[in-house]
């Protein structure tokens, strides 16, 4: 069974309530951790960076505390804007800095948890979402698409398939990897 949860990770009561609801379903073996603020969040840079990485770490720690006996695999969501591609044309330095920190946290957890559970990350490139759709016809976006070796932007399913692979027993010997899901754009 899978449960998708949207919660304000900066509100401890919401997080705790969500864990209670989740645990009522039974032990949780897997976590896809996409916690953090929006890339255009306002406020002091250092505070926003701490929130971005701290919220992801807090969700992971809550999962580990409750599910350590059955925990099999955790996948954090990072981005190629973190440490594979640089900041590109992002509006704020927060986004690439936070995503680079998530990649580093992923590698740290993978080694410090001794591979139990396995901890990996997926680093999507530009993925077509409702936030991106209004920009698809712009010349800037068309220029980006032209640089992607597979000739298109990502679909949510592309990211989901990579996450499912990393969660699955097929990836049993993969730990500490930040997997780009970007159509090859970081190589171009």
Q: Catalytic site residues?
A: 95
Euclidean distance between CA atoms 139 and 33, whole angstroms: 33
Alpha helices in 24-151 (DSSP H): 45-67, 80-83, 94-112, 139-147
Q: Tell me, what DSSP letter sits at residue 171?
A: G
For the chain, what's the residue count? 188
What Rg do the C-alpha atoms of the chain give, in angstroms? 17
End-to-end CA distance of the chain, in Å? 38
Of 36, 104, 103, 33, nearest in space to 71 by CA: 33
Contact 106, 65 (CB under 8 A): no
Contact 151, 145 (CB under 8 A): yes
Euclidean distance between CA atoms 64 and 55, whole angstroms: 14
């Amino acid at each position: 069974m899978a449960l998708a949860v949207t919660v304000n990770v900066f509100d401890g009561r919401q997080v705790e309530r969500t864990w209670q609801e989740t645990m009522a379903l039974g032990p949780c073996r897997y976590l896809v951790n996409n916690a953090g603020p929006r890339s255009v969040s306002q406020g002091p840079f250092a505070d926003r960076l701490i929130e971005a990485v701290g919220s992801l770490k807090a969700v992971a720690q809550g999962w580990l505390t409750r599910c350590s006996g059955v925990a099999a695999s955790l996948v954090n969501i990072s981005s190629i804007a973190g440490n594979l591609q640089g900041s590109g044309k992002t509006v704020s330095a927060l986004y690439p800095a936070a995503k680079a920190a998530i990649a580093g946290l992923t590698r740290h957890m993978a080694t410090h948890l001794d591979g139990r559970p396995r901890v990996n990350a997926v680093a999507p490139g530009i993925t077509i979402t409702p936030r991106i759709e209004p920009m698809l016809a712009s010349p800037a976006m068309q220029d980006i698409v032209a640089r992607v070796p597979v000739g298109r932007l990502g679909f949510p399913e592309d990211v989901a398939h990579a996450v499912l692979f990393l969660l699955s027993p097929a990836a049993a010997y993969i730990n500490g990897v930040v997997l780009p899901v970007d159509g090859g754009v970081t190589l171009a």
